[in-house]
Chains A and B, each alone.
Chain A
């Protein structure tokens, strides 16, 4: 157990739908990062939050959004889902910006 908790582990949904992925960072970590892992794109950085504020944005689609709550957990919202959004979504947390601890991921399948 890495200390970073992601739920759900698996999600199957239809095209056009909206889903929410949840991440609880390791205790004491203020930063949360979201990554997407797909066969064709590899591991891509999506977005970072630090203590509730958006810090950096990567290759995140406009259909995707995220937030970090006062208790530091984060949610990634994916809407108008397409087949190509099927991927593993990872959350990572860090305090020092040196060590990054990853969760076990949410596998999203869009059918």
Chain B
């Protein structure tokens, strides 16, 4: 089945690291994604990871994948006010994406 779960809210101080967690259920998912949505905007692809990898780093973003536990996380280093947004985790099944409910990240000064 397809079910992606994320915590709904995260508050973080500017300059700290943010960690957003996600669990998924479909072990056949080949790719897992993180998207960012700012208020009134579309979905911006941040990064994705292939299921045979356990880590991917891209500038301030680090994705960790634990395939055994079906757990995905996104770490944002040195969180800035511009990182305030909703972050969606998604898994790919049969070429379509199944999304979690999104984690609202609020960055406080």
Give residues in A with beta carbon < 8 Å to B. 2, 31, 33, 35, 42-43, 45, 48, 55-56, 58, 90, 92, 94, 97-105
Main secondary structure, interface of A, reads strand
A-B residue pair count with CB separations less than 8 angstroms: 47
**Interface-centre pick from B43, B92, B97, B101 (highest chain A CB count, 10 A):** B43
Q: Is the CB of A45 within 8 A of B42?
A: no
Q: Is the CB of A56 within 8 A of B95?
A: yes
Q: Count contacts on B: residues with CB < 8 A to the other chain.
A: 20
A77 to B85, CA, bound (A): 30
Q: Which residues of A contact B48 (CB under 8 A)?
A: 98-99
**A43-B88, A98-B48, A104-B42 in contact; A56/B96 too (CB < 8 A)?**
yes
Q: Is the CB of B42 within 8 A of A42?
A: no
The chain B residue sitting closest to A55, CB to CB, is B95
A-B contact pairs, 26 of them (CB 8 A): A2-B42, A31-B95, A33-B96, A33-B97, A35-B97, A42-B100, A42-B102, A43-B102, A48-B95, A48-B96, A56-B94, A56-B95, A56-B96, A58-B96, A90-B43, A92-B97, A99-B45, A99-B48, A100-B45, A101-B45, A102-B35, A102-B43, A103-B42, A104-B41, A104-B42, A105-B42
